[in-house]
Amino acid sequence: MPKENEFENDVASQWCPGCPNFNILDAIKSALVELKKSPDQVCLISGIGQAAKLPHYLQCNFFNGLHGRALPAAIGIHATNPQLTTMVVTGDGDCYGEGGNHFLHALRRNPDITVVVHNNEIYALTKGQASPTTPAGEKRSIQAKGVQIAPLNMPAIAIIHGCGFVARGFAGEPKHLKDLLVAAVRHRGLSYIDVIQPCITWGTRPFSWYKDRVQQLDDDYDTADQSRALEKVMESSEKIPIGVLYQASERKVFGHRFREIVDQRPLPELDPIDAEEIKSLLQGFRSAP
Amino acid sequence: MHDVNVVIAGAAGEGIQTIGAIVSKTVLDQGYAVFTWQEYESRIRGGQNSYSIRISDQPHNTPLIEADILLALNAEAVEKYRPLIKENGILISGESSEGSSIRIPFSKVAKDELGKKIYANTVAVGALIGALGIDLKTLQKEIKNRFADKADEILEKNRLAAEKGYEMADEGCRDLCPWNLPKRDGRFYHISGNEAIALGAAYAGCRFIAAYPMTPSTEIITYLAENENLGVFAEQAEDEIAAIGMAIGASYAGTRAMTATAGGGFALMVEHVSLAGMIEVPVVIVVGQRPGPATGLPTRTSQGDLLFVIHAGHGEFHKLVLAASDPLDAFHKTVRAFNLADKYQIPVMLLTDQFLTDSGFSFEEFDIDGEKPATFLADPDAIEDYKRYQLDDSGISPRLYPGQSKHLVGVDSDEHDERGHITEDLVNVALPMAQKRLAKNKKLKKDVMPPQEIALDEADTVLVGWGSARAALLEALDLLKADGINAGVIHFSEMWPLPDYSFPANKKFWTIESNATGQLARLLRSEYNVIFEGRIHRYDGLPLTADFIRTNFNAKRK
Ligand SMILES: Cc1ncc(C[n+]2csc(CCOP(=O)(O)OP(=O)(O)O)c2C)c(N)n1
Ligand SMILES: [Mg+2]
């Protein structure tokens, strides 16, 4: 099979045939091509789940770590080498459940990375339990009588905390999603896309249910208006808005102070410390001559 | 000379740390070795804590419990610590407590003579230096250094306060104070375990530390963050899980990275220890022990996490566990931890404890030469088709980092193939990969240092201990000799994997440990089949001392 672009690889997929995850994968590959990245400049980080398997299915550097822990790894990678295009690919369980705390603190740190959450409102890999985004009342395998607790609205939380790029995409509209990804990677600072990804195996609603409801934001929607953005993600409407919900003038990015002292080079490329410097610091611990 | 032990006692926040720091620096500058040891409650204000300074002409890095001089800053401290005073020792106090040898109302003197109560502690410092028979000049120099960046008036008032305290002690001391510490030529380094580890890490080439504050390891990241010129990216993580996750991410990206915590924080890190084992990313984790279970006694010491750390992590993988004996050893072990983590692409734990990390040890020389920082990255240009987990009999595959070259670096916590991709092929892929990882142990075990043997030839009794108990064990040998016992020491500081080693024949072995259940004994028995004649366990949160070992040995051997 001729490779469409250099991000293609031939690793066999463990996703269900027809899963909307394939569309997200295609959108990411196309976005990277449009951004003129080469595979060695890109690092994809994920946790565990069906979504988190995505980094295996394209040609690039990847770190497929522990369930819920993609963000700490990504922050360590980004701090070490800010020149890499660092992207976290994760699920609603991985990112909002097991790793929720890390997400909150990533909002505070504002690392220059992109977080893509495949939100299928379910734990797919473990066969259909509720996730933090499952609407109350919906049935899942453990929650046979319907989920008893409220869902989490992470885009709202991100907007409140001034995340500089908050978007919602739909796996059923890969071209639109690709455009969001390109803008997200270009954004300097944390960019976050919650992607609606209907689960065709365990989900309770058909794909068409979502297709009928998603609606791109109007052209005159002001992405700089934080209150309006918050209203938008909190309003209960028949329609699900997709597009850039909020984009803020750029905040200081994670590590900027360190990088003012030490330049942008990857840490392993810095000169080794001089033994004399250690010896001179040790003199500070010594009694006066 | 006979060692002199000074104990400064007071409530948290009352200033015993500052007094202790100024007095110990003055004694050092006078040319003596000091060992400083703190014993404190886990609170910011109140409680009664102590700061001990053992003064000697050459380094004696173990605490003495009994005091020649007790300086007590309040009445409660007098009550709590008075029993520690030796027969001919003295009590200096500011309170009108009965039995006080020298009473100097520090606050009143400060207020009356210098106009402000805040100079009370400097009056106390002066008194202590006076009682010790140290030249006032040496103290005045130290005060000048310490308050150099303060307003002239503050410096001057502190000088006067020190002088006042010094004079008052001189008067009160006349027949009471036999101590005389004239200026001598000695020069010593005075450094804590945590400071040595931070410097060792920087020397080893560590460029990234993430940690979540937890006693007794917080000073490591604090030191590295403060000393920006060392170029270490220091991040306070949201929790210990994130701390080690960031360190592993940084290490995957090519830099040397570490984290530091205590047993409770390490418990949260354990899943990541297993991850480091699986994805073969080097990482160094300092685990400062304190008594558990759970929050335990946060500011006290223990050797209670040995078996926990050795066994940490689900699944089977290799790791290295080192234990530091003192700050100089901690410096070199830190370098070694980074080198061996890199060489074998494994997690390395460095065990310390509150006693080692918080105490100030003296060294005549602090020689940083020894194991040099060495890296073990592969050469990207020499590789055509790169596979991160290329099968190899040594178990060690070529390690590159992302962005270093055109070669792609993929790692996966799932069982994986040579390129790091998930596999379910049990026979052809998963099993050989597991075998590759497990093969590392053969060489690793050979790199582990055997225990140190001290005075074994003559000995019929051998004290077996580990980590920071080393100095107490050595000092105990001398005390036991006076009791007519020929004892030697076997001291372990590389705990896992245990090296090839045979215990000498025809000796009686005793384990000496700061824990209740004899974790070292259990480990050594299962690895070397050694039988222990006796056990001495200390688990009251205080460090092992030579006296404690001697008393318990004599009580138990009958
Ligand atoms: C520590 C830990 N706990 C639980 C699991 C089991 N587990 C694997 S994936 C998963 C949920 C994944 O949900 P999500 O992130 O939404 O991914 P999806 O499969 O829906 O794409 C769970 C609970 C695990 N691998 N590790
Ligand atoms: Mg999911």
Distance CA A173, CA B134 (A): 82
pLDDT at position A1 is 43
Give contacts of A76 with chain B, Cβ < 8 Å. 208, 210, 245-253, 257
Averaged pLDDT for residues A149-171: 97
- The minimum-distance atom of ligand 1 relative to the CA of A95 is 15
Is the pLDDT score of A63 beyond 70?
Answer: yes
CATH number at residue A220: 3.40.50.970
Distance CA B162, CA B139 (A): 8
- Looking at A230-239, A265-274, B88-97, which range is the least confident one? B88-97
Do B307 and B257 fall into the same domain?
A: yes
Q: Is there a domain that residue B184 lies in? A: no
Distance CA B298, CA B294 (A): 10
Asked if B278 is an interface residue toward chain A (Cβ–Cβ < 8 A), one would say no
Q: How far is the CA of A29 from the centre of ligand 1 (A)?
A: 24
Q: Is there a domain that residue B275 lies in? A: yes
Put simply, the chain A residues between 59 and 98 with a CB less than 8 A from any chain B CB are: 59-66, 69, 71-77, 79-81, 83-84
ipTM: 0.98
Do B479 and B420 fall into the same domain?
A: no
Contact B249 A45 (CB under 8 A): yes
Residue identifier of the C-alpha nearest atom 25 of ligand 1: A67
Strands B67-72 and B4-12: parallel
Nearest CB among B29, B190, B230 relative to A273 is that of: B230
Residue B506 corresponds to which tokens in the numbers above? Answer: 């025809």
Whether omega before B216 lies within 30 degrees of 0, making that bond cis, reads: yes
pLDDT at position A196 is 98
Do B471 and B398 fall into the same domain?
A: no
Nearest CB among B28, B188, B255 relative to A267 is that of: B255
Domain count of chain B?
4
What H or E segment, with its residue span, contains residue A152? Answer: none
Asked if B242 is an interface residue toward chain A (Cβ–Cβ < 8 A), one would say yes
Residue B20 corresponds to which tokens in the numbers above? Answer: 């202790």
Ligand 1 proximity of A51 Cβ (cutoff 6 Å): yes
CATH number at residue B313: 3.40.50.970
CATH number at residue B28: 3.40.920.10
Query: What pLDDT band is residue A249 in, cutting at 50, 70 and 90?
Result: confident
Do B258 and B275 fall into the same domain?
A: yes
Q: How far is the CA of B68 from the centre of ligand 2 (A)?
A: 67
Range of the domain at A109: 4-286
Do B41 and B92 fall into the same domain?
A: yes
Between the alpha carbon of residue A84 and those of residues A37, A111, B152, B323, B403, the distances in Å are: 10, 12, 52, 37, 7
pLDDT at position B237 is 98
Do B134 and B32 fall into the same domain?
A: yes
Q: Are B487 and B534 in contact, with CB atoms under 8 Å apart?
A: no
Contact B28 A62 (CB under 8 A): no
Helix, strand, coil share of chain A (percent; to 5): 35, 15, 45
Put simply, the chain A residues between 122 and 151 with a CB less than 8 A from any chain B CB are: none
Do B461 and B439 fall into the same domain?
A: no
Residue carrying the six token digits 């008067």: B171
Residue B455 falls in which region: left (phi positive, over 0), alpha (psi -120 to 50) or beta? left
Q: Which ligand is nearest to the CA of A15?
A: 1
Distance CA B554, CA B58 (A): 28
pLDDT at position B96 is 60
Residue ending a domain, choose from B333, B363, B393: B363
pLDDT at position A5 is 85
Q: Are A153 and A233 in contact, with CB atoms under 8 Å apart?
A: yes
CATH number at residue B530: 3.40.50.920
Domain count of chain A?
1
Residue ending a domain, choose from B140, B172, B204: B172
pLDDT at position A3 is 55
pLDDT at position A122 is 97
Range of the domain at B552: 452-556
For residue B150, the SS3 value is: coil
Do B132 and B234 fall into the same domain?
A: no
**Mutation choice for ligand 1 from A98, A121, A129, CB with most ligand atoms inside 8 A:** A98
For residue A225, the SS3 value is: coil
Q: Is there a domain that residue B181 lies in? A: no
Nearest CB among A53, A261, A286 relative to B189 is that of: A286
pLDDT at position B238 is 98
Q: Is there a domain that residue B122 lies in? A: yes
For residue A64, the SS3 value is: strand
Entry pTM: 0.97
Contact A288 B141 (CB under 8 A): yes
Ligand 1 proximity of A174 Cβ (cutoff 6 Å): no
pLDDT tens for the 558 residues of chain B, in order: 899 999 999 998 899 999 999 999 999 999 999 999 998 887 777 789 999 999 999 999 999 999 999 999 999 999 999 999 999 899 999 866 666 788 899 999 999 999 999 999 999 999 999 999 999 999 999 999 999 999 999 999 999 999 999 999 988 887 888 999 999 999 999 999 999 999 999 999 999 999 999 999 999 999 999 999 999 999 999 999 999 999 999 999 999 999 999 999 999 999 999 999 999 999 999 999 999 999 999 999 999 999 999 999 999 999 999 999 999 999 999 999 999 999 999 999 999 999 999 999 999 999 999 999 998 999 999 999 999 999 999 999 999 999 999 999 999 999 999 999 999 999 999 999 999 999 999 999 999 999 999 999 999 999 999 999 999 999 999 999 999 999 999 999 999 999 999 999 999 999 999 999 999 999 999 999 999 999 999 999 999 999 999 999 999 996
Do B100 and B162 fall into the same domain?
A: yes
Is the pLDDT score of A219 beyond 50?
Answer: yes
Q: Is there a domain that residue B509 lies in? A: yes
Asked if A280 is an interface residue toward chain B (Cβ–Cβ < 8 A), one would say no
Sequence length of chain B is: 558
Asked if A240 is an interface residue toward chain B (Cβ–Cβ < 8 A), one would say no
For residue A31, the SS3 value is: helix
Is the pLDDT score of A248 beyond 90?
Answer: yes
pLDDT at position A2 is 45
Asked if B253 is an interface residue toward chain A (Cβ–Cβ < 8 A), one would say yes
Nearest CB among A53, A56, A272 relative to B205 is that of: A272
Strands A42-46 and B461-466: unpaired
Do B426 and B522 fall into the same domain?
A: no
Do B433 and B470 fall into the same domain?
A: no
Query: Distance, in angstroms, between A253 CA and closest chain B CA?
Result: 14
Q: Is there a domain that residue B71 lies in? A: yes
Do B357 and B478 fall into the same domain?
A: no
Residue ending a domain, choose from B122, B139, B172: B172
Alpha carbon B441 to its chain's center: 28
Give contacts of A287 with chain B, Cβ < 8 Å. 25, 28-29, 31, 186-190
Q: Are B485 and B552 in contact, with CB atoms under 8 Å apart?
A: no
- The minimum-distance atom of ligand 1 relative to the CA of A119 is 16
